[in-house]
Amino acid sequence: MNTLGNRLKVTVFGQSHAPSIGCVVEGLPAGFAPDMERLNAFMARRAPGRNGWSTPRQERDKPEILSGLVEGRTCGAPVAMVIRNSDQHSRDYSGLRRTPRPSHADYTATVKYGESYDIRGGGQFSGRLTAPLCFAGGLALQLLERQNVTIAAHIDRIADISDTAPDFARVSQPDLAALLQKPFPVFSDEAGIKMRQAIEAARMDCDSVGGVIRCFAVGLPAGVGEPMFAGVENRLAGALFGIPAVRGVSFGTGFAAAGMRGSQHNDPLVMEGGRVATRTNHAGGAVGGITNGMPLVVNVAVKPTASIAKEQDTVDLETGEPAKLVIHGRHDPCIVPRAVPVVEAVTALTLLDMLPRG
Interface of this chain with its own copies, residues 155 to 214, rule: CB under 8 A: 157-160, 202, 205, 207-212
139 touching its own copies, by CB under 8 A: no
Which CB atom, from 41 or from 324, has the smaller least distance to its own copies? 324
297 touching its own copies, by CB under 8 A: no
91 touching its own copies, by CB under 8 A: no
- Per CB under 8 A, the list member of 121, 284, 295, 337 interacting with its own copies is 284
- Per CB under 8 A, the list member of 48, 127, 137, 254 interacting with its own copies is 254
- Per CB under 8 A, the list member of 54, 142, 299, 347 interacting with its own copies is 299
135 touching its own copies, by CB under 8 A: no
- Per CB under 8 A, the list member of 49, 56, 76, 174 interacting with its own copies is 76
- Per CB under 8 A, the list member of 304, 338, 345, 351 interacting with its own copies is 304
358 touching its own copies, by CB under 8 A: no
Contact segment (CB under 8 A) with its own copies among 43-51, 116-124, 141-149, 187-195 equals 116-124
Phi and psi dihedrals of 194, rounded to 5?
A: -65, -40
54 touching its own copies, by CB under 8 A: no
Phi and psi dihedrals of 248, rounded to 5?
A: -160, 150
Nearest to 195 by CA among 340, 326, 58: 340
36 touching its own copies, by CB under 8 A: no
- Per CB under 8 A, the list member of 14, 48, 192, 295 interacting with its own copies is 14
CA distance 11 to 82: 12
Q: Give the rounded distance of the alpha carbon of 24 from its chain centre.
A: 18
The sign of the CA dihedral 3, 248, 142, 169 is positive
Q: Give the rounded distance of the alpha carbon of 64 from its chain centre.
A: 22
Phi and psi dihedrals of 341, rounded to 5?
A: -65, -25
Nearest to 282 by CA among 116, 164, 123, 167: 167
Cβ burial 141-153 (10 Å sphere, 16+ → b, else e): bbbbeeeebbbbb
Is residue 121 within 8 Å of 128, Cβ to Cβ?
yes
User: How many residues sit in the footprint of its own copies (CB under 8 A)?
Assistant: 146
- Per CB under 8 A, the list member of 34, 48, 63, 68 interacting with its own copies is 68
- 76's CB contacts (< 8 A; 6+ apart) are 30
Is residue 297 within 8 Å of 168, Cβ to Cβ?
yes
Contact segment (CB under 8 A) with its own copies among 43-51, 52-60, 145-153, 262-270 equals 262-270
92 touching its own copies, by CB under 8 A: no
Which CB atom, from 177 or from 201, has the smaller least distance to its own copies? 201
136 touching its own copies, by CB under 8 A: no
- Per CB under 8 A, the list member of 269, 326, 328, 329 interacting with its own copies is 269
- Per CB under 8 A, the list member of 90, 92, 181, 321 interacting with its own copies is 321
CA distance 65 to 38: 16
Taken as a whole, the chain contains a residue count of 358
Which CB atom, from 90 or from 116, has the smaller least distance to its own copies? 116
Contact segment (CB under 8 A) with its own copies among 34-42, 43-51, 163-171, 238-246 equals 238-246
CA distance 2 to 19: 18
**Identity at 315, one-letter amino acid code:** V
131 touching its own copies, by CB under 8 A: no
CA distance 25 to 65: 11
Contact segment (CB under 8 A) with its own copies among 55-63, 111-119, 164-172, 173-181 equals 111-119
Q: Which strand (E) or helix (H) includes residue 31?
A: none
